[in-house]
A and B are shown apart, each in its own frame.
Chain A
């Protein structure tokens, strides 16, 4: 018996019970659809996050205080004050870290801001003028503060476009005085609409000199972050080493595992994000795969019913010369065709759903959500559905092929 004829016979067998066949593959369709959807959304989310993370530029290095957490309840790692003026000074010296083009300490806090009767809560970023370059927020109106203003602890602020909208509405903001935590600041610049840059929501932030922020707003003597801009992308790894060496010497640390600071490059962060989204995607896809198992059991169930129903047909085919193998092939093909059909429909639905989701997400997030369909996801979908067909079709097909022709012919 040729494979083509086996295939034809199997298709005829399935056609005889169209609605049952359609209902049977529903489980597979749902399973494959969700796997495709999850994988494609996972990829889209990863791309989006990576784009934002990389927004600071590849030459930017982030130094944060504290050691890496030893476990989920290791809160001690979060509260440290290892980055102070002393560290900023040491890192600024070209003799210590030759690759540094510039750096800015960062003071980050969230507090209430008011203008006349308008009160709202915003993110306050204390920084040096270099931040304007790193984040690319040279004001659209007005100007950024200067190094002198930083040294003089000037109470000046560059506000984000959303901040301007919320506090001032359509009226003029430049030159006005706003109150941040009861300290009066003069608005000297309004930054352009940027969206999310790195981990910073610039539009909803107010940028002030870090010296002013430290003294009047945070009330502490340490920084939350130091952003370093390397002279070029190529020397980033060397610069990271120099920074680590400098800080260790300063803090008398010989064992790198006892570091009280962390240095991360944009690439590090990107890799970490990729890993997290990949794990999440695999985890969700695995949950979706459970429905494939359920669908497979459904197919096995229906195939067993079908084998019993068609006992006479099996007996007849055997009497007319069908071998055990012919019968096995026929019924195995029936279940594989069912699952493959379910797989193809699932892939089509999954791709379609992902496309719709990308449109909705683009609207909802206000930033472009890339519609991506991984070829691996499609191949995986086809492979998995065929595999399910073989695994769950084998037992019924064996039952069919083992029937003795006389028992089968006698069956009413």
Chain B
């Protein structure tokens, strides 16, 4: 299997005036295409920083990060935007949907910045919304949805461009356990369809949906283990 992510001795330092904060101090690991990796760790362990760099939202201070075989520092700003648009999907803890906008419009948002012809937008968006089981909500405003539904809209938005990899930053953090597991089952299904998943979480329960768990502590990898007993969704979640 090909590697989608190759990280070698990755370091990230934030400097504010005199003081320097070391968020990542030499992290190395690889992710294969199609793999589902959970990144765990207490707050301040550097997992968000790692996700930002992996997701091309930030750049490393030192070390190398090859995405799809190309070093991050070799991408120009416009190429970075293009990669985010075409090859990556993002799911955030706080959903980050546009207010006063319908589900359909929210899901179509990434297409606005893509080269996809506009005639295909609606059918693509409808397909993505169907995948997360929200077809009956398609013309609702996002403010009328429940938390779980909001996160499912965000997932539909993340997968509309058929990205190679989806980054999920605490996707269940703002949800009750029932809608949380619903969201996790959709993410698992996406993984089964071939999308690589990087999941940031601090809940062991949620992390066990993954094939592999990387635990970070103080900016370093504490452990990197295969999950012995994966939690696999059994219930059908699409109603």
Contact = CB atoms under 8 A, between A and B. Distances in A.
Report the interface size class on chain B.
20 to 34
Nearest to A325: B78
B113 interface: yes
A324 to B, nearest CB: 6
Given A312-B96, A313-B98, A406-B52, A322 B113 contact: yes
Nearest to A2: B118
Nearest to A321: B85
Contacts of B92: 409
Contacts of A320: 84-85, 90, 109-110, 113, 157
Contacts of A325: 78
Contacts of A92: none
Contacts of A405: 57
B22 interface: no
Given A406-B57, A409-B96, A323 B81 contact: yes
B100 A16 contact: yes
A72 to B, nearest CB: 63
Contacts of B113: 1, 317, 320-323, 326
Interface residues of A, number: 24
Contacts of B109: 316-317, 320
A331 to B, nearest CB: 15
A5 interface: yes
Interface in B173-222: none
Given A313-B98, A321-B110, A322-B113, A406 B58 contact: yes
B96 A316 contact: yes
Interface in B78-119: 78, 81-82, 84-86, 90, 92, 96, 98-101, 109-110, 112-114, 118
A2 B121 CA distance: 14
B55 interface: yes
B110 A323 contact: no
Interface in B7-49: none
B56 to A, nearest CB: 9
A308 interface: no
Interface in A288-321: 312-313, 315-321
B74 interface: no
Contact of A5 (B81, B85, B100, B112): B112
B102 to A, nearest CB: 11
A404 interface: yes
B77 interface: yes
A9 interface: yes
Interface in B117-170: 118, 157
B90 A1 contact: no
Nearest to A318: B81
A321 B82 contact: yes
Q: Which one of A321, A322, A325 has the highest number of Cβ atoms from chain B below 10 Å of its Cβ?
A: A321
A313 B96 CA distance: 8
Nearest to B92: A409
Contacts of A16: 99-100
A5 B114 CA distance: 11
Contact of A319 (B57, B86, B114): B57
Most chain B CB inside 10 Å of its own CB: which residue of A2, A9, A319: A319
Interface string A3-26: 001000100100010000000000
Contacts of A315: 96
A5 B81 CA distance: 18
Contacts of B52: 406
Given A1-B112, A406-B52, A406-B58, A321 B96 contact: no
Interface in B53-80: 55, 57-58, 77-78
B37 to A, nearest CB: 20
Contacts of B114: 321
Most A-side CB within 10 Å, residue of B57, B78, B99, B114: B57
A324 B113 CA distance: 11
Q: Which of B85, B90, B113 has the most CB of A within 10 A?
A: B113
A17 to B, nearest CB: 10
Residue among B52, B81, B85 with max Cβ neighbours from chain A (10 Å): B81
A323 B77 contact: yes
A318 B112 CA distance: 12
A2 B157 CA distance: 20
Contacts of B82: 321
B77 A321 contact: no
Interface string A62-83: 0000000000000000000000
A409 B48 CA distance: 12
Contacts of B90: 319-320
Interface of B: 52, 55, 57-58, 77-78, 81-82, 84-86, 90, 92, 96, 98-101, 109-110, 112-114, 118, 157
26 contacts: A1-B113, A2-B118, A12-B101, A16-B100, A315-B96, A316-B98, A318-B81, A319-B57, A319-B84, A320-B90, A320-B109, A321-B85, A321-B113, A321-B114, A322-B112, A323-B78, A323-B81, A323-B113, A324-B77, A324-B81, A325-B78, A326-B113, A404-B58, A406-B57, A409-B57, A409-B96
Top-4 shortest CB links A-B: A321-B85, A321-B113, A323-B81, A320-B110
Given A316-B109, A319-B84, 11 more contacts: A16-B100, A313-B98, A315-B96, A316-B96, A321-B85, A321-B110, A322-B113, A326-B81, A326-B113, A405-B57, A409-B92
